[in-house]
Amino acid sequence: MRKLIVFNLVTVDGYIADGKGDMSWAHKSDPEWNEFVSGNASGGGTLVFGRVTYDLMVRYWPTPLALENNRVVAEGMNRLPKVVFSRTMDHASWSNTTLVKGNIEEAVRKMKGEPGTDLVILGSGSIVTQLGQAGLIDEYQMVISPIALGEGKTMFQGMEKRLPLKLVKTRVFGNGNVLLCYEPAA
């Protein structure tokens, strides 16, 4: 069975984007961090997005600038299969992207039961909230970035019930980022 994993950069005050949706604070380059990010991008997996995150990603990763700035990550992002959940989009233009307009929980349950690589949600707080509340997320990988924004969008915005988690792995990076990996607590 495929796992559903969330991977998000989060500020120390709990935001995945500022009040205007900007995530430029998340780009802290150093050799150790770059190696980690490149390793993730060149690995396997099916990327999962909501429409807002998809729109942000498709404006950057398939561009010559992305290839120039970080070839390994750009090639991985463009090569990997992608799923975007949206009720308003008519088609998805990014290579290897499937548009799903139906019930997100049903679609994810079906995808998790199919053979293939793990599913990885990037950004997409509304999807994280919905699928987390439904008990469909197997692992939460949060990279805490040493910056406070004061306001913005949280990864769990709109949750209606508590989501107990247990810490299963950590890693500290030289740039101050800290990876925290959680699984749902039994």
User: Is a pLDDT exceeding 80 seen at residue 44?
Assistant: no
Q: What is the per-residue pLDDT for 36? A: 83
> What is the percentage of the chain residues whose pLDDT exceeds 70?
98
CATH number at residue 79: 3.40.430.10
**Residue type, position 56, single letter:** L
Q: What is the per-residue pLDDT for 72? A: 86
Q: Summarize pLDDT for 63-97 with one digit per residue, the tens.
A: 999 999 888 888 989 999 999 999 999 999 999 99
Write out the DSSP string of 16-77. EE-TTS--GGG----HHHHHHHHHHHHS--EEEEEHHHHHHHHTTTTSHHHHHH-HHHHHHH
In-domain check, residue 183: no
Q: What is the per-residue pLDDT for 21? A: 80
Closest to 13 measured CA to CA, from 153, 124, 159: 153
Q: What is the per-residue pLDDT for 142? A: 95
d(CA 6, CA 96): 20
Q: What is the mean pLDDT of the segment spanning 164-185?
A: 95
In-domain check, residue 31: yes
Q: Which residues of 56-93 are buried (b: 16+ CB within 10 A; e: fewer)?
A: bbbeebeeeebeeebebbbbbbbebbbbbbbeeeeebe
Q: What is the mean pLDDT of the chain?
A: 91
Q: What is the per-residue pLDDT for 31? A: 83
In-domain check, residue 12: yes
Angle at 142 between CA 136 and CA 144, to 5 degrees: 160
Q: What is the DSSP letter of 153?
A: E
Domain count, the chain: 1
Domain that holds residue 43: 4-18+26-175
Q: What is the mean pLDDT of the segment spanning 135-146?
A: 95
Q: What is the per-residue pLDDT for 42? A: 64
In-domain check, residue 78: yes
Q: Which residues of 39-54 are buried (b: 16+ CB within 10 A; e: fewer)?
A: ebbeeebbbbbbbbbb
Q: What is the per-residue pLDDT for 41? A: 64
In-domain check, residue 186: no
In-domain check, residue 180: no
User: Is a pLDDT exceeding 90 seen at residue 170?
Assistant: yes
Q: What is the mean pLDDT of the segment spanning 156-173?
A: 94
In-domain check, residue 184: no
